[in-house]
C-alpha cells in the first residue's frame, strides 16, 4: 500500500481511461497512484481499463496482451451492442458499481462480474458537515444533449417538485432545462449551470441530500460526496444503506422525510470504509 498520510492508495497501477471520461483521468491517476497507459511500454503488463465508450477503447482492450481489469462506468454498458460477442471470449476481470449493472453484464458476458462502487475523489476531503433543516436543500446533476436531460430525470423532477414545496432543488450542469421538456420551471427548482468543483463542494456541504434519478447508472460521485458528508442521499438504483425508490410516490415520501432528519446519516462510516479503498 501507498500512504498519503490522510488516505491509503493501492500500489501503482497502469490505467487506460476512455476519452469519453478523460475529465476523470487526473483523479483516477491520484486514486490509483497511476501511470497512463502506453501500448508499446505496457502491452504485456496488468492494466486497468476505465470505460468502454468508443471503438478505440475496444481496440486497445482487445489488443492488450497483459492481465486486464475492466471498470464499467454505467452508460457504456448500454452501448456494447454486438461487441459482447467479442468481450465474452476475452479473459478479463470485470467490475461494475451495482447489482443492476451486474445483472446486465452477466447476461451479456456469461461470466462473473464484481460489484464495487468507486469514488474518484479522496474520501478524506469530505468530512461530516450535515446540518438539519426543516426546509431541506437537494442537489442533482444534469447536462444537455442526446436525451441526457431525460436520463437525469428532469421530467420526474419537474413533476414532483410542486408536490414538495418545502424542498428546494438545485440542478448543476445546466443553465436552464429544455422548455419543450418541462414547460414552466417550478419555483423551488434552481439551475446553477456549470461551476467549479471547489464551488460545488462548498455549496453542497450545506445541503441535506443528493438526488440521483437515473434509471441505469453507476455509482455517482454526487451520491458518494453526499453520504460522506453525513447527508441522506436518494437514488433510483438500490445501493446498500442508501435510500432508494421505485415509484414517484415513494420518492415524494423520502423527500418529505428529509425535514425530520436531525442527525448525520449513521451509515456514513460504512460508506467511508467502502469508498476509501480503490480496486482492492
DSSP-assigned letters across all residues of 68-89: EEEE--SHHHHT-GGGHHHHTT
Regions of the chain with pLDDT less than 70: 1-11, 146, 179-184, 280
DSSP 8-state secondary structure symbol assigned to residue 239: B
d(CA 245, CA 194): 28
Cell of 223: 451520491
Q: Pairing between strand 14-17 and 189-193?
A: unpaired
pLDDT at 17: 95
Q: Pairing between strand 47-50 and 2-3?
A: unpaired
- The helix/strand/coil state of 244 is strand
Please give the distance of CA 73 from its chain centroid, rounded to a whole number: 8
Query: Which residues, at least 6 apart from 95, have a Cβ–Cβ distance to it below 8 Å?
Result: 69, 70, 71, 72, 113, 114, 115, 116, 279
Please give the distance of CA 195 from its chain centroid, rounded to a whole number: 18
* Angle between helix 221-228 and 197-204 (nearest 10): 40
Domains and CATH numbers, the chain: 2-115 (no CATH), 123-276 (3.40.50.2000)
pLDDT at 32: 82
pLDDT at 183: 62
* Angle between helix 221-228 and 268-276 (nearest 10): 130
Asked if 140 and 172 count as a contact pair (C-beta separation under 8 A), the reply is yes
Please provide the average confidence, as pLDDT, over all residues in the chain. 90
pLDDT at 29: 86
Q: What is the pTM of this model?
A: 0.90
d(CA 39, CA 42): 5
d(CA 84, CA 86): 5
Q: Half-sphere exposure of 222 toward its Cβ, with a 13 Å CA cutoff?
A: 25
Amino acid at each position: 500500500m501507498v500512504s498519503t498520510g490522510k488516505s491509503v492508495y493501492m500500489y501503482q497501477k497502469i490505467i487506460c481511461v476512455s476519452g469519453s471520461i478523460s475529465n476523470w483521468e487526473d483523479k483516477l491517476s491520484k486514486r490509483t497512484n497511476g501511470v497512463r497507459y502506453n501500448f508499446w511500454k505496457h502491452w504485456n503488463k496488468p492494466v486497468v481499463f476505465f470505460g468502454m465508450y468508443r471503438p478505440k477503447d475496444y481496440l486497445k482492450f482487445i489488443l492488450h496482451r497483459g492481465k486486464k481489469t475492466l471498470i464499467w462506468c454505467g452508460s457504456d454498458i448500454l452501448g456494447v451492442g454486438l461487441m459482447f460477442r467479442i468481450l465474452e471470449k476475452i479473459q478479463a476481470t470485470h467490475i461494475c458499481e451495482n447489482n443492476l449493472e451486474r445483472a446486465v453484464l452477466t447476461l451479456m458476458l456469461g461470466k462473473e462480474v464484481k460489484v464495487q462502487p468507486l469514488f474518484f475523489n479522496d474520501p478524506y476531503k469530505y468530512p461530516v458537515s450535515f446540518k438539519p433543516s426543516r426546509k431541506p436543500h437537494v442537489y442533482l446533476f444534469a447536462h444537455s444533449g442526446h436525451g441526457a436531460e431525460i436520463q437525469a430525470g428532469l421530467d420526474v423532477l419537474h413533476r414532483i417538485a410542486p408536490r414538495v414545496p418545502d424542498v428546494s432543488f438545485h440542478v448543476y450542469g445546466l443553465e436552464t432545462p429544455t422548455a419543450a421538456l418541462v414547460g414552466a420551471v417550478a419555483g423551488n427548482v434552481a439551475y446553477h449551470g456549470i461551476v467549479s468543483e471547489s464551488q460545488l463542494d462548498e455549496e453542497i456541504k450545506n445541503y441535506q441530500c443528493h438526488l440521483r434519478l437515473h434509471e441505469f447508472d453507476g455509482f455517482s460521485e454526487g451520491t458518494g460526496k453526499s453520504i460522506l458528508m453525513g447527508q441522506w442521499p436518494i437514488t433510483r438504483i438500490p445501493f446498500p444503506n442508501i435510500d432508494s425508490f421505485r415509484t414517484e410516490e415513494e420518492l415524494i415520501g423520502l423527500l418529505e422525510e428529509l425535514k425530520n432528519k436531525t442527525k448525520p446519516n449513521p451509515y456514513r462510516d460504512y460508506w467511508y470504509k467502502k469508498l476509501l479503498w480503490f480496486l482492492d
